[in-house]
Amino acid sequence: MANTGFHISLYATFLLIFVTLLQTNCEEKCFCQLSGQIDDCFCDIETLEKFNNEQVFPLVSQLVKRDFFRYYKVNMFKPCNYFDGDIGFCESESCGVKPCSEEDLPVGLRNGNFNKHTPDTEDVECNKPKKSISDINGTLSNVTIDFLDRWDKHDDTVHQFCDIDDESSIELQYIDLIANPERYTGYKGPMAWRIWRAIYEENCFISGGGGTTAEENDGKRLKFSHSDLQGMCLEKRVFYRVISGLHTSINTHLSAKYLFEVIHIQIDGWGERRWEANLAEFQRRFDKDVTKGEGTARLKNLYFIYLLELRALSKAAEYFNRGNVVLFTGRDKEDVKTKEMLTQLLDLTKKFPMHFDEGVMFQDKNSRGLKREFVQRFLNVTRIIDCVTCEKCRLWGKLQTQGLGTALKVLFSAKEMNGKSDSPFQLIRQEVVSLINAFARLSESIKSLEMFRAMIKDTRNNGKEEL
């Protein structure tokens, strides 16, 4: 009996040591090293991350450098309808955006050519589409009717989640996205915070809602936390996770390319600007200890929105494979290569085994009204971006929200895409450029997590844990 007791005691000791080591290992695990299933999706993080980092990111990061996706045509100066958009205007050089001159553009994107199908196609008159025009054109871009009222009469109408700009308007400018990269500009404080507060709090489906508990530099905190999603219907959870995922992606970009200003006093106060990864800033936004546990939920929402846009691309593959969908810049060989790369990317998305399932949304008796509200609230989000007082932040905010809106349009236009509606499914060039670039930003965000994990590991190994 004594011998048996000794073995039980020895077993208990080993068990205690094992549990202690296991707990220690869990505690030392990087807060951005996530695992397990993505909320509201049948997909695990490990599979998605491996797929993105090894297959998608190398391809999409090169695709967006191609001329067709490099130049984004946008109205940068739409009026702000929510509050005084001129208050707190960012005057920093880093906030500025330089539009393209005519000679900077490929010939196919210059005035009179931007919506041609081929170099030999005649110019397209606004509102007079011709049969030879590509599905990617500007002929629908001046449609600014109130689609929400029209929805009551024609439920089959293609759902527009963003305002569609008239691409022939002189108010639109081409922006070279490579020459104006997304990165931290120094734009912060109350002016930046009020944008996210408006996005979260003025677009809540329930009273008292808000955004994530993202803390900004002025010390204020948005009132909505991840725990508030419990009890919401799927559609409302999707809306908030998409917005939170977009917010997370943008914050990851800003942390990965953070503006450091070094003053060289010995050279008459001359300053040097450099953009590098800022681990402390990344931890401030996402470390579970700093964010009271919210950082993990935010990072998971990044994977969620990635999965949603991935599904949209796979669903749009058939549309882009049409022979009359030409990514036209006026350079034949380059255009063919760009289409091949896009096709390769879309083929990848179709092979991914675990997609977001939009088919389970808007299925109950209240779905008609809920879908209408969903669209209206996302449309509000895209309009709030016009109130951003940093030009570069506004540029990338508009591009990423329009890209997300285009993805939602693809997901919820099944009848039109399958030819079962009188309203044909079409994408203008603006939508195509924003769709691919927005997905590329999400892809880079997930890839950046790999970099931050390595940085955290290095600081721990060097005994220089940053908080």
Residue 238: phi and psi, rounded to 5, are: -60, -45
Which position has the higher pLDDT, 263 or 22?
263
Q: Per the annotation, does 196 bind a ligand?
A: yes
Residue 148: pLDDT over 60 = no
Lowest mean pLDDT among 66-70, 121-125, 273-277, 378-382: 121-125
Residue 72: alpha-carbon gap to chain centroid? 16
pLDDT score of 5: 54
166 — pLDDT class (breaks 50, 70, 90)? confident
**296 by DSSP, 3-state: which?**
helix
Lowest mean pLDDT among 149-153, 161-165, 222-226, 438-442: 149-153
Q: Per the annotation, does 377 bind a ligand?
A: no
Q: In a 10 Å sphere around its CB, with 0-12 CB exposed, 13-18 middle and 19+ buried, how is residue 262 labelled?
A: exposed
Residue 101: pLDDT over 50 = yes
pLDDT score of 88: 63
217 — pLDDT class (breaks 50, 70, 90)? very low
Which position has the higher pLDDT, 265 or 454?
454
The answer for 212, left when phi > 0, alpha when psi is -120 to 50, beta otherwise, is: beta
Closest among 156, 104, 114 to 136, alpha carbons compared = 114
Please tell me the distance from the alpha carbon of residue 111 to that of residue 310, in angstroms, as a whole number: 33
Q: In a 10 Å sphere around its CB, with 0-12 CB exposed, 13-18 middle and 19+ buried, how is residue 52 labelled?
A: buried
| Contact indicator for 339, 326 with CB cutoff of 8 Å | yes
Q: Encoding tokens for residue 104? A: 């900077």
Residue 145: pLDDT over 50 = no
Mean pLDDT of the chain: 76
Q: Per the annotation, does 183 bind a ligand?
A: yes
Please tell me the distance from the alpha carbon of residue 447 to that of residue 226, in angstroms, as a whole number: 24
| Contact indicator for 239, 374 with CB cutoff of 8 Å | yes
Q: Per the annotation, does 255 bind a ligand?
A: no
Closest among 38, 27, 25, 30 to 452, alpha carbons compared = 30
Q: Per the annotation, does 285 bind a ligand?
A: yes
Which position has the higher pLDDT, 122 or 349?
349
Q: In a 10 Å sphere around its CB, with 0-12 CB exposed, 13-18 middle and 19+ buried, how is residue 50 labelled?
A: exposed
pLDDT tens column, 428-462 = 999 999 999 999 999 999 999 999 999 998 888 87
pLDDT score of 255: 94
Residue 356: pLDDT over 80 = no
pTM > 0.85: no
Question: So which residues are the catalytic ones?
Answer: 390, 393
The answer for 17, left when phi > 0, alpha when psi is -120 to 50, beta otherwise, is: alpha
pLDDT tens column, 226-260 = 666 666 777 888 888 999 999 999 999 999 999 88
- Strand-strand pairing, 71-74 and 258-264: unpaired
pLDDT score of 113: 63
Which stretches within 82-189 are classed as H helix?
147-153
298 — pLDDT class (breaks 50, 70, 90)? very high
pLDDT tens column, 2-61 = 555 545 454 454 444 443 443 444 344 555 666 655 665 556 788 899 999 999 999 999
Which position has the higher pLDDT, 399 or 92?
399
Please tell me the distance from the alpha carbon of residue 166 to that of residue 280, in angstroms, as a whole number: 42
Closest among 310, 202, 278 to 451, alpha carbons compared = 278
Q: Give me the residues paired with residue 176 across strands.
A: 71
| Contact indicator for 109, 330 with CB cutoff of 8 Å | yes
pLDDT tens column, 321-336 = 888 888 999 999 999 9
